[in-house]
Copies of this chain bind each other. A is one copy, B any other.
């Protein structure tokens, strides 16, 4: 059952199945994390990872995020895929996929802490954590993790050409979709990378993963 607060208001574009929601979460680059601070809504962009039905977020131990243990949160992941140009302003739109996830913040400790941090690294660069040395105890201590066990979620998806009023057709105007393309470019190595070192498999995997 989807609780009322998690239901999309424009029902025709809404999806509530886990497969659709997870697919959007798994191919998003950044999440927008919403919480309430002193009765004020706050929205922050954050890296994240999904493991099962849990989203993980991380931040320096001193940040506001780490004080949210037990509080309600919302994380929204959006992929814009096109600008929809119609014959009327009214029918202009965008093509997109988004997942809106609700849950309660839970501060992560023990074994789950390191696993979550690796999952966040590996979300953007699949397998990267295995290419690197293990985290030190000081590094683990300096980085907090908040879990959001998903209580309710919805997705919204729009695809395809513009809708038009019959009165606006036929028309001499151009109508259609302008694709919004997001992709990873060729890696730019830094000054410490030995000459001739190839980008690691994690980067090639990311380049294949994040194409929209």
Judged by a CB distance under 8 angstroms, whether A180 is at the interface is yes
Other A-B pairs, 20, CB within 8 Å; known A162-B190, A180-B210: A5-B42, A30-B78, A30-B96, A32-B45, A33-B43, A34-B34, A41-B41, A41-B72, A41-B74, A43-B76, A45-B76, A87-B133, A161-B188, A161-B191, A174-B187, A174-B200, A175-B192, A177-B188, A181-B181, A182-B182
Task: Write the nearest CB–CB distance from A38 to chain B, whole angstroms.
Answer: 6
Known: A80-B29, A85-B187, A185-B179. A125 touches B92 (CB 8 A): yes
Task: Write the nearest CB–CB distance from A150 to chain B, whole angstroms.
Answer: 14
A149-183, CB < 8 A from B: 161-162, 164, 168-183
A12-59, CB < 8 A from B: 29-30, 32-45, 47
Interface bracket on A = 35 or more
Known: A40-B102, A41-B36, A42-B74. A193 touches B179 (CB 8 A): no
CA distance A184 to B161 in the complex (A): 16
Cβ–Cβ contact A45 & B181, under 8 A: no
> Per DSSP, are chain A's interface residues mostly helix, strand or loop, or mixed?
mixed
Q: Report the nearest B residue to A122, measured CB to CB.
A: B89
**Count of chain copies:** 2
Please pick, from B76, B135, B172, B206, the residue contacting A89 in the complex, using a CB distance under 8 A.
B135
Cβ–Cβ contact B42 & A34, under 8 A: yes
Q: Report the nearest B residue to A72, measured CB to CB.
A: B40
- Taking Cβ atoms with an 8 Å cutoff, the residues of A that contact B are 5, 9-10, 29-30, 32-45, 47, 60, 62-64, 72-76, 78, 80, 83, 85, 87-90, 92, 94, 96, 98, 100, 102, 117-118, 121, 124-125, 128-129, 131-133, 135-136, 139, 142-143, 161-162, 164, 168-194, 197-200, 202-203, 206-207, 210
